[in-house]
Structure 1
């Protein structure tokens, strides 16, 4: 007679990077605590918020949660990667402080990694929600199509370069569980900035292992006025500069990788976009001379109306530039 022995759950380290969003942070932590998959540690990585979030953590009275707090603001890339390096789990998963997980998120993804050591990530689709947690179903469908998940079937993708760095279907910051020991966490440079999750997806596919796609929406991405995505898309000068610099660094790395050679036309287009974005940010901050080389580089990578228009505007009087929209 045989006896069935249930294997213990693998430890998953949940990383929650945060800065100055206490109410959203409370909701994010709650969604991690409520996971039906119980063997987790939760590392709240605070980037020197004005108010220490320890009091929020104490509200949960859950020994699985701990705080790491930077003595000074380090920026998102260093804040999140520092937390990853402290993780003890077999797997790691990131949860932005303004996003949410469904209760069964880890329970549905982790088993695929446990069952197949040749997988480096398991990922899913996600909902889009507003500042009040309400699902925007129209935006959700648009997002699924935009990130090319509408054409994906459930199963293993190996290799998955196109999924990770072109289609960007693998959403590391919210909807992906990663095999921790498959990543060299010291190889994530600070220059990746806001694009840390894209670069981490690149490292994951470079491991040679595969990705498992689970087509259900198990997480919730919040769009609100204070999110970096919304800020970068508006006229925030520093956000544009940060976005442009991070994009240039990442796409220069990708275009130099021989394994990604067939995607070089795409990377050239993204480099043109990133140089233009950086140039516009510099121009709006009054650094006209510093902006022009980026417009020239953008045109060299890909001739497009946005870059040409921005370059032309850089030669107009400063008082006029401030009034024009690019």
Structure 2
């Protein structure tokens, strides 16, 4: 690609939030630098890692990299949003510090957006890889089917409420490109927490603009022991509490949005499930009195919710027996 051709391309801001994962970060940065689509800036926002990654970042010697280090840990969401707010590009694309892009990721997702000014987002399918970067073939197929991307037609979807918020087909955290000026990054409230990617999909859905699906696996999502879903013990309980709290907030917003009333029953069920999950997390943290209102809130809407009834009953069971039963039910 000639220099003239390169800068005929619109600028894409690649956002890499990072925290305490230098080896993975190195791979993520390398995959951004190697993009065949060259007119990019790479924004690395470090959430006050124990080991400052600045030297690692500078070792690439690439003038397109912009590095920011917070002086204290500001939390995952604030660090992510800081990167988005630094973006100067026409388009933004989030790349987690433990994930990897194929070299043609941007080259294949930017053109549909350029061809249609009414599109807000373009996204693709993804591979699942393990801690060592090896593709998990079974996990990859399950991921594609689980998010119904195997049934999703290539091309434009408008509106895309169902694929964005029900099927959750759009991996906004690491496998999409978004038109920057269509999103107000200050409109993501802090309450969304770790569900920021779902809430971002929501903002894209209600914008009135369209989405484009490119049915090829162009990214590699890493599933490993440092992710919330792979934690254990008390850290696992805390991760589940955070996730359930974020889900309660998101689904409450979705339930009340006039754009989404045809899906209200679905969102209400997800909200009720999240209340029960949060209550169970409180039970496991020995916060019995705090847990009961969440079960009661669910039972007022669904009197015969078996999972909630069982958890509500456990809150009145002697602790030694309740703890034993909860261990069995894990």
How does the TM-score come out when normalised to structure 1? 0.95
Q: Which residue of 1 aligns with 2:149?
A: 149
Q: Aligned-pair distance for 1:147?
A: 0.5
Q: Which residue of 1 aligns with 2:69?
A: 69
Whole-Å separation in 1 of the counterparts to 2:261 and 2:215: 29
Q: Which residue of 1 aligns with 2:322?
A: 321
2:283 matches 1:276: no
1:224 is paired with a residue whose SS is coil
Q: Which residue of 2 aligns with 1:174?
A: 174
Q: Which residue of 2 aligns with 1:202?
A: 202
Q: Aligned-pair distance for 1:318?
A: 2.3
Q: Which residue of 2 aligns with 1:297?
A: 297
Q: Which residue of 2 aligns with 1:11?
A: 11
Change in Cα spacing, 1:233 to 1:107, as seen in structure 2 (3 Å) is: farther
- Work out the number of aligned pairs and report it: 322
Superimposed CA distance per residue, residues 118-163 of structure 1 (whole angstroms, 9 cap, x where no aligned partner) = 0000000001111111111111111111101111110100111111
Cα pair 1:268 1:301 within 8 Å, conserved:
no
Structure 1 runs not aligned, ≥5 long:
none
Change in Cα spacing, 1:157 to 1:100, as seen in structure 2 (3 Å) is: same
Cα pair 2:228 2:236 within 8 Å, conserved:
no
2:85 is paired with a residue whose SS is helix
Whole-Å separation in 1 of the counterparts to 2:63 and 2:235: 42
Cα pair 1:94 1:173 within 8 Å, conserved:
yes
Structure 2 runs not aligned, ≥5 long:
none
Q: Which residue of 1 aligns with 2:255?
A: 255
Q: Aligned-pair distance for 1:215?
A: 0.2
Change in Cα spacing, 1:301 to 1:231, as seen in structure 2 (3 Å) is: farther
Whole-Å separation in 1 of the counterparts to 2:121 and 2:222: 23
Cα pair 2:13 2:92 within 8 Å, conserved:
yes
Q: Which residue of 1 aligns with 2:98?
A: 98
1:62 is paired with a residue whose SS is coil
Whole-Å separation in 2 of the counterparts to 1:214 and 1:300: 43
Superimposed CA distance per residue, residues 57-113 of structure 1 (whole angstroms, 9 cap, x where no aligned partner) = 012111111221222222221111121011000000001111110000000000111
2:311 matches 1:310: yes
Cα pair 2:120 2:210 within 8 Å, conserved:
yes
What are the equivalent positions in structure 2 for 1:102-113 lying under 5 Å apart?
102-113=102-113
1:93 is paired with a residue whose SS is strand
Whole-Å separation in 1 of the counterparts to 2:279 and 2:72: 29
What are the equivalent positions in structure 2 for 1:222-237 lying under 5 Å apart?
222-231=222-231, 236-237=236-237
Cα pair 1:240 1:280 within 8 Å, conserved:
no
Whole-Å separation in 1 of the counterparts to 2:282 and 2:222: 29
With 301-310 and 177-186 compared, the bigger mean Cα shift is at 301-310
Q: Aligned-pair distance for 1:220?
A: 0.7
Cα pair 2:159 2:205 within 8 Å, conserved:
yes
Change in Cα spacing, 1:299 to 1:232, as seen in structure 2 (3 Å) is: farther
2:225 is paired with a residue whose SS is coil
Q: Which residue of 1 aligns with 2:213?
A: 213
2:282 matches 1:287: no
Whole-Å separation in 1 of the counterparts to 2:279 and 2:300: 14
Whole-Å separation in 2 of the counterparts to 1:301 and 1:90: 45
Give the RMSD, CA atoms, in angstroms: 1.7
1:71 is paired with a residue whose SS is coil
Change in Cα spacing, 1:283 to 1:197, as seen in structure 2 (3 Å) is: same
Q: Which residue of 2 aligns with 1:193?
A: 193
Superimposed CA distance per residue, residues 2-38 of structure 1 (whole angstroms, 9 cap, x where no aligned partner) = xxx9570110001111111111111111111111111
With 171-180 and 264-273 compared, the bigger mean Cα shift is at 264-273
